[in-house]
Amino acid sequence: MAVVQTSEFQYYAGLDPLERRLLYEPIVLEYAMIQSCNLTREEPESHATVNFDNLQSDSEAFRVLVNKLAQVCDNERGGNSVTAMTILEGTSGPEFVFAANRKDEEETRATTRFVTNLLQLAGQNPQNLSSDALEKRVLWMILAFNMSRITEYKDGLDKALGLCLEDHERRQSEDETLKSELQKLREKCNFSVNNIREQEEIKSLRDCERLINLIHNAQLAMTGIKKAVRAKARGSEFLKSEPWCELKHYLGRWHSYRQAASFIVSAATAWPLLFQDFTITSLPSSTRISKPIVQSDLTAVAIVQHMEAFEKVKMPELMQDAEDLRRMGLDKTIQIQLLKRTFRPIVHAEVLIHHYLAKNGITRPDRFWRQWQYIGASKPTCRLCHYYFGSHSQSQIQVRPSHLNLYPNWRLPEISNEGDAEAREAHRKLLMNIAEKVRNDAKRTLQQRTTKSKQHDSNTYSATPRYLVKTSGSTNSDGPAYCEVDAVDGGVSLWSP
């Protein structure tokens, strides 16, 4: 007998029971297979490590800047603070519009203050600091706002270094240089992060900066750590060298803060008008909907049967695949997901901004700063956001390439006008389009036992800007400049192979 959960108040953002089943059942099936069935991971091509000589246009440099600004606003691990941003042409200057996955009003106000202070510091340089000194001040401001995330990065790096040292000993390597470098770097992780008192906060920031500088210097030279990361964290070695892959990840995350500070300061020199007379618009996070599937004893076979009924096609091979995977614990994993109190989908930050722009008729290029129609984000877009934006093919607004990771706690925005039949039909078509793509994913995964996704949702490599400088003939114009970084969506780290 089906077990149905009920609650006093249920909110589904306009989705009827059939729509919820069509969208969320294949999502839950696909996610459960990823979690429990030991699938082969196929990393998306957009996240292959590619060396770009430099960015070929100012618009590409601009996209990196927006991503970096979003990144430094994403100050908590776990997904709630994932941030998206776009920059519009305001009435008297640029308008920075940002949204987060799930921040409350106070957290959103704190982010607004941080962005305001950051842009003012980089753009006005009130103390007339040298470029290096200004970069340091910007870095400290970023680190202070991100202290919660940095605490976890410190612990993660320390753990990865310990595991790499154990791996080094286990292999009975005679490379004493590598061992010494790993130990030295681990010693730099041995500090407390405390921002209760100003004096303690300054010490924490100084210690963080020293660690970042050591990481930066290590990747400039062909050090033992750099050689080891390149040799042991490559694709073919991935499963055998997980500690080194984790080390690569945390080195990249720490180094990305220095890169962000450098890029923001350089951008303020290249585009001074972007940092003057600006306004900040913060969008509220969405409301979580109620649990979209109330039947908690759902099975993979039942989901395939529902697919058959909707598509009016028998799928005996998929039914057998679902039965085979049941023995691997697939049904149990599905039911664990359905019982989670946290299975309450939200609108992701990029979609919040896109919905805001569409609702307010902000679609023409001239409404965007420099006519660059771009929504940046602190993370690559997830699989469902990728399908959402792919279903808006008529839009010229670009977003970050996707890592194709799947998150069940994703939903569409509410219909802007429930009384508008055309809007309701467009919303229904959008949902059906996304649901079809997820069904196809689930079928493919059932048959092939592979999934397209990435281990970490952030880049293990980050933009590595060299310089953003004005052209020699530039005077007071807000002119481009020249920008060298390694990739638009984040770039390739010198830690990469």
What is the average per-residue pLDDT within 14-32?
97
Average pLDDT estimate for 10-26: 96
In Å, what is the CA distance from 354 to each residue of 99, 348, 362, 449, 459? 10, 10, 9, 34, 23
Q: Are 435 and 23 in contact (CB under 8 A)?
A: yes
Q: Which residues contact 362 (CB under 8 A, 6 or more apart)?
A: 88, 356, 368
Let me know if residue 390 belongs to a domain: no
Q: Report how far residue 381's alpha carbon sits from residue 399's, in angstroms, rounded to the nearest whole number.
A: 8
How far apart are alpha carbons 179 and 168 in whole angstroms? 7
Residues 192, 208 contacting (CB under 8 angstroms): no
Distance from chain centroid for Cα 167: 30
Stretch 375-393: mean pLDDT, rounded?
A: 96
Q: Report how many domains make up the chain.
A: 1
Considering only 53-67, 254-268, 306-320, which range has the smallest mean pLDDT? 53-67
The residue ranking higher by pLDDT, 39 or 320, is 320
DSSP state of 48: S
Taking residues 448-460, report their average pLDDT.
Answer: 70
Beta strands in 414-454 (DSSP E): 450-452
For residues 238 and 346, the model is more confident at 346
Would 435 be classed as within a structural domain? no
Mean pLDDT for the chain? 87
Centre a 10 Å sphere on the Cβ of residue 475 and count the other Cβ atoms it contains: 6
pLDDT of 183-195, one tens digit each? Answer: 999 999 999 886 6
Cα dihedral 458→461→462→467 (10° resolution) = -170
- Per residue in 43-90, pLDDT (tens digit) is 666 554 433 335 558 999 999 999 999 999 999 999 999 999 999 999
CA angle at 272 for the pair 485 and 369, rounded to the nearest 5°: 80
Range of the domain at 473: 47-285+456-483
The token duo for 35 is 């979690």
105 φ/ψ angles, rounded to the nearest 5 degrees: -60, -45
Residue 491 pLDDT exceeds 50 = no
pLDDT attached to residue 57 = 85
Question: What dihedral angle (degrees, nearest 10) is formed by the CA atoms of 80, 40, 411, 321?
Answer: -140
According to the model, what pLDDT value does residue 101 have? 99
* pLDDT tier at 415, thresholds 50, 70, 90: confident
- Cβ contact 97:108 at 8 Å: no
Contacts of 7 (CB under 8 A, 6+ apart): 290
% of the chain surpassing 70 pLDDT: 84
Is 429 a domain residue? Answer: no
Give domain status of residue 177, yes or no.
yes
Residue labelled with tokens 């939903």: 411
pLDDT band (50, 70, 90) for residue 372 = very high
What's the pLDDT score for residue 471? 34
Q: What does each C-alpha distance from 241 to 42, 158, 229, 235, 302 come to in angstroms?
A: 17, 17, 9, 10, 39
For the CA atoms of the chain, what is the radius of gyration?
A: 24
Residue 464, in any domain of the structure:
yes
Categorize the per-residue pLDDT at 450 as very low, low, confident or very high, splitting at 50, 70 and 90.
Answer: confident
Tokens of 293: 């599937």
- In-domain check, residue 347: no
- Specify if 313 maps to a domain: no
Q: Is residue 438 part of a domain?
A: no
At residue 241, the pLDDT reads 81
